[in-house]
């Protein structure tokens, strides 16, 4: 008997775990962590009034939104091959926006190794969106 793995479901669960874990950690911390403030205090973001907390809040909202969209994708059974993947598509689009912000932030503070990793996440998300969403909507 051949085992059939539902790759769409695995993609949904992967993004749910990534975004859900990081959103939970940020929300449960009740505020901007000191490491985040220190990292961006000397950058242009640190020069803008409320720039650092606003950026942290935007990242947190994006991560939480991605998590909610992935849960909705599961509820809507978007892991089925014939389903319209509207929540998965929006979640992946928000992930692209998130990874763009993270790459920008990493390069802004000259953390090129982390920026390169975030860029790889971006490229992986483009690939997965093309494979599971765009190809399905043709």
pLDDT of residue 6: 82
Q: Which residues have a Cβ under 8 Å from the Cβ of 102 and sit 6 or more positions away?
A: 59, 114, 115, 118, 121
**Domain boundaries defined on the chain:** 43-138
* pTM confidence score: 0.89
CB-CB neighbours of 19 under 10 Å: 23
CB 99 within 8 A of CB 66: no
pLDDT of residue 3: 64
70 — phi, psi (to 5°)?
A: -70, -35
pLDDT of residue 104: 95
pLDDT of residue 133: 85
Task: Output the tens digit of pLDDT for each of the chain's 138 residues.
Answer: 566 778 899 999 999 999 999 999 999 988 899 999 999 999 999 999 999 999 999 999 999 999 999 999 999 999 988 889 999 999 999 999 999 999 999 999 999 999 999 999 999 999 999 988 876 665
Quick one: tokens of 129?
Answer: 């969106």
Of the candidates 122, 118, 120, the residue with the CA atom closest to the CA atom of residue 109 = 118
pLDDT of residue 113: 95
Residues in the chain: 138
pLDDT of residue 56: 94
pLDDT of residue 66: 98
């Amino acid at each position: 008997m051949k085992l059939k793995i539902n790759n769409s479901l695995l993609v949904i669960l992967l993004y749910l775990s990534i975004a859900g874990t990081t959103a939970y950690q940020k929300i449960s911390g009740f505020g901007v962590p000191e490491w985040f403030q220190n990292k961006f205090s000397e950058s242009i973001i640190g020069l803008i009034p409320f720039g650092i907390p606003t950026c942290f809040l935007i990242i947190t909202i994006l991560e939480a939104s991605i998590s909610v969209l992935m849960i909705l994708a599961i509820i809507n059974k978007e892991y089925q091959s014939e389903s319209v993947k509207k929540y998965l598509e929006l979640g992946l689009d928000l992930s692209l926006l998130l990874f763009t912000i993270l790459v920008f932030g990493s390069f802004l503070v000259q953390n090129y190794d982390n920026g390169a990793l975030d860029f790889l996440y971006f490229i992986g998300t483009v690939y997965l969106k093309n494979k599971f969403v765009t190809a399905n909507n043709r």
